Structure 1
Amino acid sequence: MYAKSVTPFTPGNRRYSTPEVVLTASISALVDALFRTKTSVKGTFFVTLAFSSVVFAEPCPTPKGLSPEFGINRVIDGDTVVFDDGSRVRLTGFNSFELNDSGWKGRSAREAKRKVTKWLSRKKVRLAPWPAAVDRYGRLLGNLWLDDKYLGELLVSEGLALVVSVPPQNKLVSCLSSIEWAARKARKGFWSLGQLPERIQAMDKNGFRFGVGSVTKIIDSKSFILDSRLRVLLPKADPNVHIGVRFEVRGWVSRSPQWVQNDAPWTLKLKDMTNRVRVF
């Protein structure tokens, strides 16, 4: 069950998405907290937040630490750019599809690259946070600040990128999740195609996936199987997973090890609990 969004986000409007009933990644932390209290009844969780005056969505906060200004040498794709000093930057908090994807995913990836190229053309940008962390590929990690908003806000609001939390580079996940919900409700970009979330039963390749399915097997307190197809590994125990419960999950899928392939040919190791949301 999802909520109605009152005010959709647009690049020129930083007041958006006042949900009445919400169960999205942006409040998964709230869900987890409530699960640990006595509001959980026999392991079944029902939540209704019907206070129209309560605003869960807030604009992404102004960064506290910014890099010096950089020019853009090259846009590799929707979530990776190269600065004019040669530094590669992997933008965090979201993921765009790959340029070599087929069908609608490939078209979405190309449109994301086109939009980013347009938005960054002849502009100076700053990276936040700063100093930036570096990943195992030597890329700087962060998000581009464009005077009054993050590049990630623009991409997610246009339905050209999906939010994903990869701690500790996840400071924008809450606000980006609100923007994603507004884009989803307004059927922006790939949300207009009716292809997302994908059915886990139809999952047939690795890479980044956003899918929905039901729990068909519980392995232990930190792992379960969706639709006899996808093994989900949690970063911490969740006693509220039960057979038949439906989840939306997102992250990078890989082939399961041989010993578990008969039960689930694919595995998704969640980086953060907010990357799985219960669906009613």
Structure 2
Amino acid sequence: MISVQHVILSIQEHRKWLILVDASISLRSVLVQLVVQSSPVLHLIVVKKGPYWGLFLCLLLFGGTLFCCGVSNVGAAPALASGGEFLTSTACDITFDPASAVAAPSGFERVAVVQVFDGDTVLLKDGRKIRIVGVNTPELGHHNRPVEPLAQQAKQRLVQILSNNKAAASLKGKGTSAYLKTGGDLKDHYGRTLGHLFSAQGVNVSQRLLEDGLGFHVSIPPNLWAADCYYSAQQVAMAGGKGVWNNAYFDANSASQRDLLGGYQRLQGKIEKLFISQKTIWIDLQGQVTLKLGRSDSDYHQGAVLKRILDAHEKKKLVMLPTIEVQGWLMDRKRWGAKMMGKIKRGERNRWQLNVRHHYQWRFLLPIK
């Protein structure tokens, strides 16, 4: 084992300082302990089978840019694309002095939750219906859809987090104290208030649900506070095969299968063609699915996946790309009127559309070289 003490790293992009308190490195695993300014110590474990991995990551830590996530909202360490596994995630909770006379930490609102509808929706005492940002949990049978596996467990886990009681079956009393953080778009298209929800103890609800595999990470601009942290939490569940990542119901569907349904989906497919217009990048997958990347979200699309796609398009080698996996809401264009229906029948448009709003939504299934 190699131990390295008190190394200071600078993150240029976020203008934050990290203090590497300790790094214990072997050929099979790496344990890193970091402090982000005055925030609590952050722990990150990465495991990779194969020789010299520990040495490689040591060089990566000292030679490259390192991201982390914490109360200061710096952002989380990105997932390692193939092989590396996050076994613990960083915290995106809030910290405060419960004895303080201040009603809530700066930027947060003290609220009372009176009802939990499902794993990602609650009702406040003041009448607001809150759609929790950063996570999409299995459905409890809304909109004529069947109850999905793990839906009841996600709802129950939300109750437990808010109650600070693992045995809690429901919220009690006139309302359970919690904290709410809003920002970006204030409401969704159903009129629900969009916000990050925390227990009275400052525990981040989205992060815990994602770590337990009781939902999928959702990044929709401009509501991206703690998005990096939530992504890392999802990686924890994926690596551990928890919840939705170990249930056949939630396995990715093929973009070419005939019985696709609308709603939140994981899709896999080969890229068939790409078209770039003034406002949009359109990517057709083999089958009946088109990915839409709007120019208004272009800052959030940037990443290794899009770069590889555009490079392949320029070299006319799209067919050489590996299978891509995408997460998001699948929309049925047949519901968009007679004109679109005609284009679908004539083969001019694919039936299904999935909007890619952020680079966390997609990945190649083979390592990006």
TM normalised by structure 2 equals 0.58
Give the equivalent residue in structure 1 for 2:217. 163
1:227–1:130 CA distance, 2 compared to 1 (3 A): closer
Letter in 1 for 2:204: Y
Matches within 5 A, 1:1-280: 15-18=43-46, 50-52=56-58, 54=61, 56=67, 58=69, 59-62=90-93, 65-100=106-141, 101-102=145-146, 106-121=148-163, 122=172, 123-129=176-182, 133-146=186-199, 147-194=201-248, 195-202=250-257, 204-220=260-276, 222-236=281-295, 238=306, 239-240=310-311, 242-245=318-321, 246-256=323-333, 257-258=340-341, 259-260=343-344, 262=347, 264-280=350-366
Query: 1:244 and 1:172 mapped to 2: Cα distance?
Result: 35
1:189-241 Cα deviation digits (max 9, x unpaired): 12112443333233511111122211122233611112222110112475235
The count of aligned residue pairs is 243
Query: 1:144 and 1:199 mapped to 2: Cα distance?
Result: 34
Query: 1:15 and 1:108 mapped to 2: Cα distance?
Result: 29
The Cα RMSD (Å) is 3.1
SS at match of 2:319: coil
8 Å Cα contact 1:235/1:273 also seen in 2: no
Whose radius of gyration is greater, 1 or 2? 2
Q: Which has the higher strand share?
A: 2
For structure 1, the 5+ residue unaligned runs are 8-12, 22-48
8 Å Cα contact 1:231/1:268 also seen in 2: yes
Query: 1:187 and 1:75 mapped to 2: Cα distance?
Result: 26
SS at match of 1:51: helix
1:184–1:196 CA distance, 2 compared to 1 (3 A): same
8 Å Cα contact 2:184/2:223 also seen in 1: no
Letter in 2 for 1:270: V
Which structure carries more relative contact order (alpha carbon 8 Å, separation 6+)? 1
Give the fraction of aligned pairs with identical amino acids, expressed as a percent: 23
Q: CA deviation at 1:165?
A: 0.9
Query: 1:210 and 1:61 mapped to 2: Cα distance?
Result: 25
8 Å Cα contact 1:5/1:182 also seen in 2: no
Segment drifting more, 174-183 vs 151-160: 174-183
1:6-37 Cα deviation digits (max 9, x unpaired): 78xxxxx963453769xxxxxxxxxxxxxxxx
Q: CA deviation at 1:66?
A: 3.8
